[in-house]
Each structure stands twice: as structure tokens, then as C-alpha cells.
Amino acid sequence: MQVFRLEKKRLMPFLRKVMRSYELVAPVKTDLVRFEKIKNPKSICFEKPYFPVKGFFFKKHQVLFEFDGSRVKIPANNEPERVFFGLKKCDLNAIIRQDKVFLEDAEDPYYKASREKSFLLGFHCDEACSEYCFCGSMELVDFYDLMFYDKGNHFLVEEGSEKGRFLISKFKEFFKPVPRKITQEEKEIKGTDRLKKNSITHLYDHPGWQKDVENCFSCGACTALCPTCYCFEIHDEVKSSCLSKGCRKRCWSSCQLQSFTRVAGDHVFREKREERFKHRIFHQLGYFKEKYGMNLCVGCGRCIEGCPTRIDFIKTINEMEDEQRE
């Protein structure tokens, strides 16, 4: 793929120019680092975002349609064209996974509407962003429209798609082609291979899970912070002034909540915390791979960092693996 050089001092002018044509979204540090619509590119923070980017495509609250009695009105698609800047390799690979679920399988029109109008500009990490990262164990792939590599006084920018090529040509005054490739070594993220084995199907009944299960509150922070977790529920909201009018909404949910598998008659299928705890881990590192050939987990470690008791299931899996090998 073609590589370009962007001088560091030209980054802000480039982003400002991008903002004239597109909505720019990038990590910003407020209380925590999160992806936000950028008003001033100087506010962009290059640390690892605490929150994932998924909410821009798979919205936390999405109105599916409005109703008035049995008349249904589908909302207009007002998604702007967005340029996302500062996506880490884990964030980008998470988008591949959600694309599989929402575009390949279900053709979800809401996800599609925002996803189609997005440009994904990655920012390469040279080393683990935090002690929780394990992306190096997750067989991540190259996936981006443009990828930025920090080279001191300049960036090297690698094209990854047609969309990327389009952006480069649209903003060509900033980019100078360089006759070189980005090497595999440059693409590596050091210190991120702490999960020893990413297949865990043989560990389902292992007693080693117990201590993690005991520390889990089933709060669902892990699933909310996960860049790939995609479960949701659907409910109706009515206007208090007119009960026949309202909307149907889809909202993020969590398989960690007891109510998640409740059916009519109040039977709960995954009633035990242990069953729910393992369901998430096994969906992330097992079931999804059986169906799509890749793990759902991208190794960003946000679920560990955001867990109120810092449950490090990677450590637990490694311990179980070591024990089995002995």
C-alpha cells in the first residue's frame, strides 16, 4: 500500500481542513478519554480512549421507529459523514467484528447508515497502551482507511482502502508520497501478547474460574466498555401526553445482567452468576470464532481496566493453561 509523509506541524492544519468537509471524531480527555466530535483539533488526546468508539455506529439509544397508534414512521437518516481519527488497532479490529454482525448477517440499516459514511483513520501504538492490553495475542489484522505512524517530526501515513485513497487525494497538499513500505516490525505493538493461548473451549468446567466469579458483581461495565459487545434490547416509549404516540428504541444491554435471559413466567436461563460470567468470556473467545473464524475479543483490555474489581480473566486463563500443562 502507498505510504505518505505528513509533517507533524501540518497535522493540525490537515485536521482543520478535514473539519470543513466532515464531522471529525477523535479521543478527547475530559474526565476520562473518550471519542467525541471535535471542535478544536488541539483538544485531541493520543492516549488510549477509556470508552470504545462503537457508540457512533451501534448507538447506545437508537430510535427504530416512531408510532402513532398502529401507524409507523421511520426516522430520516441524518448521519453526517464522519472522519474518525486516532483509532487504535484494537478499535479498528472491533469495527470488523461489528461489521460482521450488523452488516454481513443482519443488514442493520441504522448501523449501515453511520458506518457507510465513516472514514477510519488509525493511529499506530508502538507499545502496549496500558498494563491491560493483550491485542498481540488476538491475531488482529490491518484494517483502516489510513494509518498514522508516529516517526518523531513527521507521520508516515499508510493507505488501506479506496476511502483512504480518496482522502489522500482530496487533501493532497498535506501528503507527500514516500517510496517505502511500512515493515512488519513497524506494525508490531510491543508487550501485548500476554494471553498465552486464545482458545479456551477446553476450560469451561475448570474450577479456576471460581475466584473471578466470586469477584464479579454482574454490573455490566465490561460489556459497556467492550468495543465489540453488541447485545441490545428493544422497548417502547410513549409520550405521557398521548399514550398512543411514542417510539420503539433499541438500547445497549448486557449478558451479565440476570434479566438478560428472563422469559415469560419469570424463568431465567442463565440464573447463576457463573453462567453469565463464562458466557461473556466464551462468546468473546469461543462461540464467535466458531461462526466467523475470528475471536470477538480484540484484546484492548478495557473490560479489565473498567471492572470495579479489576477481574483479569487473562491472568486466570493463563494460570489454568499453565496448570493443565504441568
Q: Which of 197, 273, 287, 319 binds other proteins (CB under 8 A)?
A: 287
Give the span between the Cα atoms of 55 and 227, in whole angstroms: 9
CB 292, min distance to other proteins, A = 10
Q: Is 199 in the site for other proteins (CB under 8 A)?
A: no
Q: How far is the CB of 29 from other proteins (least distance, A)?
A: 31
Among 175, 260, 311, 312, binds other proteins (CB under 8 A): 260
Considering all CA atoms of the chain, what is the largest pairwise distance in Å, rounded to the nearest integer? 67
Which residue from 29, 206, 262, 273 is in contact with other proteins, where contact means CB under 8 A? 262
**By the rule CB under 8 A, 315 interacts with other proteins:** no
- Asked if residues 228 and 300 have their Cβ atoms less than 8 Å apart, the reply is no
CB 146 within 8 A of CB 167: yes
Spell out, one character per residue from 267 to 286, where the chain touches other proteins: x when CB under 8 A holds, - when not.
Answer: x-xxxx--x--xx--xx--x
Range 187-191, long-range pairs (CB < 8 A, 24+ positions): 187/124, 187/142, 188/136, 189/89, 189/124, 189/125, 189/126, 189/127, 189/128, 189/133, 189/135, 189/136, 190/126, 190/127, 190/128, 191/127, 191/128, 191/133, 191/136
Closer CB to other proteins, residue 179 or residue 207?
A: 207
Whether 133 and 114 have beta carbons less than 8 Å apart is answered as: no
In one letter, which amino acid is 144?
A: Y
Asked if 75 interacts with other proteins (CB under 8 A), we say: yes
Q: Is 31 in the site for other proteins (CB under 8 A)?
A: no
Binds other proteins (CB under 8 A): choice among 166, 176, 308, 310: 166
Would you say 18 or 44 has its CB closer to other proteins? 18
Q: Which is nearer to other proteins, 66 or 188 (CB)?
A: 66
310/64 Cα distance (integer angstroms):
35
C-alpha span between 37 and 30 (Å, rounded) = 13
Identify which of 204, 215, 208 has the alpha carbon closest to the alpha carbon of residue 283: 204
Distances (CA, A) of 256 to 216, 272, 294: 10, 10, 22
Residue placing its CB nearer to other proteins in the complex, 235 or 325: 235
**Nearest alpha carbon to residue 7 among 119, 122, 151:** 151
Residue 187 found at the interface with other proteins (CB under 8 A) = no
303 lines the binding site for other proteins (CB under 8 A): no
288 binds other proteins per the rule CB under 8 A: yes
Minimum Å distance from CB 79 to other proteins? 7
* Cβ proximity of 1 and 158 under 8 Å: yes
104 binds other proteins per the rule CB under 8 A: no
Q: Which is nearer to other proteins, 102 or 174 (CB)?
A: 102
> What residues line the site for other proteins (CB under 8 A)?
64-65, 67, 69-70, 72, 74-77, 79, 81, 101-102, 105-110, 112-113, 116-117, 163, 166, 204, 230-236, 238, 243-244, 246, 248, 250, 253, 255, 260-265, 267, 269-272, 275, 278-279, 282-283, 286-288, 290-291
